[in-house]
A and B are shown apart, each in its own frame.
Chain A
Amino acid sequence: MSDQPYLEAIGVSKYYETVAALRDVTIRVHPGEVVCLLGDNGAGKSTLIQILSGVVQPDTGTVRIGGRDVRLASPNDAMAQGIATVFQDLAVVPMMSVYRNFFLGREPSIGWGPFQRFDQARAMQIAEKELADLGVTIDDVRRPIGTLSGGQRQSVAVARAVHFGAKVLILDEPTSALGVKQAEMVLENVRRARDRGIGVVLITHNVHHAYPIGDTFVVLFLGRQLRSLKKAELTELQLMNLMTGRDEGAQPSSSR
């Protein structure tokens, strides 16, 4: 983990009509760091990731990438800056094969002029390698992606983002719909991505998934930031209490 954060959102707020969906929230993601974003429904998690992934722009506050102020005007803009978001619906085409999904919209080509074609051999080879690197085993990348388990599909989406140069990976509730074994597989992908120096923002409301893997924990409550804590500063039980609002100190932290 390096000292310079790759992605920062500093004091960002977002209002819809007169309601603050997010108020004065700060989050920093360093290379090789797993930041867990926790909070109940309506806490502002999705608004924050929409800001980080360029879907919406903050009304106040700034977003910085590599220390420079930026304006992420669109998801493509964010993607070009190395911010990759894996949404819950994963943006995959169920009837298409794994490797075709892997390269969807960014197909490697071979040949010349009008005979230019999709380099399927290379696409399969790269997809297989990238999946193996993340510890994903899929017997045949030509299999329709819809035939994979939820965890495997999630893994393919992560591997795709990593392959296309993600510096920060935002995962929106990657484990929420999964069984224990599948969730563990996805968390293992996250660990491997982190070990490769990728910063990860993990959105979840499952403390058991978040605590073992997270380095930093940002807890949101009704659009405000309750806490931003390093792992050394709290136990799993404290984190759980914080999330459910049972903690004594469950007030907006003053030390952002």
Chain B
Amino acid sequence: MPSQSDTSRKSSGARTSLRALLTRPESTAIAGTIAVFVFFAIFTGSAGFLSLAMTRNYLEVAATIGIIAAPITLLLVAGEFDLSVGSTVAASQVLTSYLIVHAHWFPVFAILTTFVVAVLIGLGNAYLVVKTRLPSFIITLATLFIVRGATQGALRMLTGTSIVNGVRAAAAHSPAVWLFSTPVGPFQVSLFWWVLITALCAWVLQKTSFGNWILATGGNQAAAVRTGIPVETVKTILFVTTAVAAALVGVLDIFAINQGDANSAVGREFEVVTAAVIGGALITGGYGSPVGTFFGALLFGMVDQGFFFTPLPDVWFMSFLGIMLLLAVLINNYTRNLALKPARRS
């Protein structure tokens, strides 16, 4: 008897781990990324998709999405949403570039001030969501409009335009900007921020106690509260982290494109959620993977840039993206249900 039960335990363990591998949240995004890469490599490789310049382009697009999408994934896992990230990117671009170009601040202080403002935006979102208990979708939709309008309005008032030019020249020789502007080899520095932030978010979610609290906050908030987890603090930290990541993208942008634009990053909030959902995150909380989101962002970048080389007019890009998203969601939904299905037993 013991030997029999031993073997049955072992075989069911092996079955579990195989299933666990196939049903990991990031597997769809990784497979999708490979499929998209192969597709573009075969059909548009000769047109330049495989060139270094092209690779740099789609990695840059992916990074500006992925840097925000990683903390957004944690926020989604905790059961909350943040629609204000696009506006926060624009506000950060404008604030940093205005302080450097027009107010002649040292870049280091301009950047620090921007991060402080981002922390305040995150705290504001968190405070409203936690205190009112209204859906964060609505609260951050309101802050999306408020922040965007304030950015446009303030810059119009101060300079009469919606763009601040000449950031690089004004910030030249400042040692503080090398973190945000120095290319590493052939690639933009944003690529390394993206990898770093993804690794950090994945580590926090999977390897730390705080990660356990994030999963519980979105997975069953009542249970989390009953086991003594400070769910409001968890949410606040994540809203602030998300806003700071958006500010980082804003700061990286102004050195990459040499300007701050009050109308930039419109729709970014949906791009980052798209990356997270392709990466396996559940919009209702409790489930998600920063690594999956990484590949979701990479896939987004490849499609965004690679589509240019296809014979289709680029106005079809949105539809193509929508189909990709739909496919990913359907596959993720299927594998997640498989992973969460009760094991068959006597």
* Residues in chain A within 8 A of chain B (CB atoms): 75-76, 87, 89-96, 100, 103-107, 109, 116-118, 120, 139-140, 142-144, 146-149
Q: Are A100 and B215 in contact (CB under 8 A)?
A: yes
A139–B12 CB distance below 8 A: yes
Q: List 22 A-B contacts (CB under 8 A).
A: A93-B223, A93-B286, A94-B220, A94-B340, A95-B286, A95-B340, A96-B212, A100-B215, A104-B212, A104-B227, A105-B216, A105-B224, A105-B227, A105-B228, A107-B209, A109-B209, A139-B16, A140-B17, A142-B20, A144-B339, A146-B342, A149-B345
- Near A by CB (< 8 A), chain B positions 299-346 give 339-343, 345
B203: chain A residues at CB < 8 Å are 117
- Given A91-B223, A118-B209, 5 extra CB contacts under 8 A: A89-B222, A93-B286, A95-B219, A96-B215, A117-B208
Q: Which residues of B contact A (CB under 8 A)?
A: 9, 12-13, 16-17, 20, 203, 207-209, 211-213, 215-216, 219-220, 222-224, 226-229, 286-287, 339-343, 345
Report A131 CB to chain B, min CB distance, Å.
14
The interface centre, meaning the residue of B208, B219, B342 with most chain A CB atoms within 10 A of its CB, is B219
Q: Tell me if B216 and A96 are in contact (CB < 8 A).
A: yes
* A143 interface neighbour in B208, B212, B213, B343, Cβ under 8 Å: B343
Residues of A within 8 A of B342 (CB): 146-149
Residues in B with CB closer than 8 Å to A94 are 219-220, 340
Contact A139 B13 (CB under 8 A): yes
Cβ distance A135 to chain B, nearest Cβ, rounded Å? 14
Cα A100 to Cα B224 with chains together (Å): 12
Residues of A within 8 A of B286 (CB): 93, 95-96
CB distance from B265 to the nearest CB of A (A): 31
Contacts A93-B219, A95-B219, A105-B227; is A144 near B340 (CB within 8 Å)? yes
Cβ–Cβ < 8 Å partners of A95 in chain B: 215, 219, 286-287, 340
Contacts of A144 in B (CB 8 A): 339-340
The residue on B at minimum CB distance from A110 is B207
Q: How far is the CA of A93 from the CA of B78 in the complex (A)?
A: 12
Instruction: Tell me the bound Cα distance from A139 to B23 in angstroms.
Output: 18
CA distance A100 to B227 in the complex (A): 12
Q: Are A96 and B219 closer than 8 Å at their CB atoms? A: yes
Q: In the complex, how many residue pairs between chain A and chain B have their CB atoms under 8 Å apart?
A: 88
Q: What residues of chain B lie closer than 8 Å to A148, measured between beta carbons?
A: 342-343
Most chain B Cβ neighbours within 10 Å, of A89, A103, A109, A118: A118
Q: Which B residues are in CB contact (< 8 Å) with A87?
A: 226
Nearest opposing residue in chain A for B23, CB measure: A144
Q: Which residues of A are found within 8 Å of B20, using beta-carbon distances? A: 142
Q: CA separation between A143 and B213, bound complex, in Å?
A: 18
Task: Give the Cβ gap from B341 to chain A, nearest Cβ, in Å.
Answer: 7
A104–B222 CA distance with the chains assembled, in angstroms: 13
Cα distance, A149 to B223, chains bound together (Å): 18
Q: Are A118 and B211 in contact (CB under 8 A)?
A: yes
In the complex, the answer to whether B345 meets A91 with C-beta atoms within 8 Å is no
Task: Kindly provide the distance from the CB of A123 to the nearest chain B CB, expressed in whole angstroms.
Answer: 9
C-alpha gap A149/B344 in the complex (Å)? 10
Smallest CB–CB gap between A140 and chain B, Å? 5
Q: B residues within 8 A CB of A116?
A: 208
Residue in B20, B209, B222, B342 whose Cβ sees the most chain A Cβ within 10 Å: B209
CA distance A93 to B339 in the complex (A): 15
Residues of A within 8 A of B223 (CB): 89-93, 104
Are A117 and B207 neighbours in the complex by a CB distance under 8 Å?
yes
In the assembled complex, the CB of A49 is this many whole angstroms from the nearest CB of chain B, namely 15
Write out the residue numbers on chain A whose beta carbons fall within 8 Å of the beta carbon of B216. Answer: 93, 96, 104-105
Q: How far is the CA of A117 from the CA of B229 in the complex (A)?
A: 16
Instruction: Name the residue of chain A whose CB is nearest to the CB of B217.
Output: A93
**Measured CA separation A94–B20 after assembly (Å):** 16
Q: Of B13, B208, B229, B339, which contacts A118 at CB under 8 A?
A: B208
Question: Chain B residues with Cβ under 8 A from A107's Cβ?
Answer: 209, 212
Contact across chains for B212 and A100 when beta carbons are under 8 A apart: yes
| Nearest B residue to A108, CB-CB | B209
CA distance A120 to B153 in the complex (A): 50
CA distance A103 to B209 in the complex (A): 9
**Candidates A92, A118, A140, A142; contact of B212 at CB < 8 Å:** A118
In the bound assembly, the distance between CA atoms of A107 and B346 in angstroms comes to: 33
